[in-house]
Amino acid sequence: MRIFFLITPLLFLSALTHAQSLQGKWKLVNESTCPEEEKIPGQYSHEPFSPTLKGIAFGGDHACEIESNHPTKDRSVVSRGLFYKVDGDQLYLLNKRTQTIISMLRIEKLSVDSLIYSDVNLPCNTRVFVRQP
């Protein structure tokens, strides 16, 4: 029984540390997408990221903001209204209002200065970010 009380806090701290290291602003530096023949038409049209993604910010309150270029104007657009949840190497993006999962991502690499993730449904869609100061 004592072992249970010793291990439980350690597991909680380990999950908390993983989520905290994700916090901050990240700038997209590289992106690879799947060839068109591997995509099923209409299946992945709900992806929250536009092809003009610039960066993503993860807050301490599990809020998430996505910055992208406006498709018709020369300015950036910040999408708010998202939450994120980290479960092991899985990163879930949720709609803030409805709490429904918008996107499921797999964290390939997370270090002090870089983040690499891929889409769970299309592993060939990979994005590489660097932490912004």
% of the chain at pLDDT higher than 90: 44
Looking at CATH, the fold of the domain delimited by 2-131 is given as Lipocalin (2.40.128)
pLDDT digits 0-9 by tens, 28-40: 999 988 776 655 5
The more confidently predicted of residues 8 and 126 is: 126
C-alpha 13/C-alpha 5 separation (Å) is 13
pLDDT digits 0-9 by tens, 100-119: 999 999 999 999 999 999 99
pLDDT digits 0-9 by tens, 64-98: 988 887 767 677 777 778 999 999 999 999 998 99
C-alpha torsion 12→14→15→19, nearest 10: 130
- Predicted pLDDT at 114: 94
- Predicted pLDDT at 130: 96
Rounded mean pLDDT of the chain?
78
Domains of the chain by residue range: 2-131
3-state secondary structure of 79: strand
C-alpha 24/C-alpha 54 separation (Å) is 14
C-alpha 109/C-alpha 95 separation (Å) is 24
CB 121 within 8 A of CB 113: no
The more confidently predicted of residues 65 and 13 is: 65
Write down the H helix ranges in 26-78: none
Contacts of 112 (CB under 8 A, 6+ apart): 21, 131
CB 70 within 8 A of CB 86: no
CB 49 within 8 A of CB 68: yes
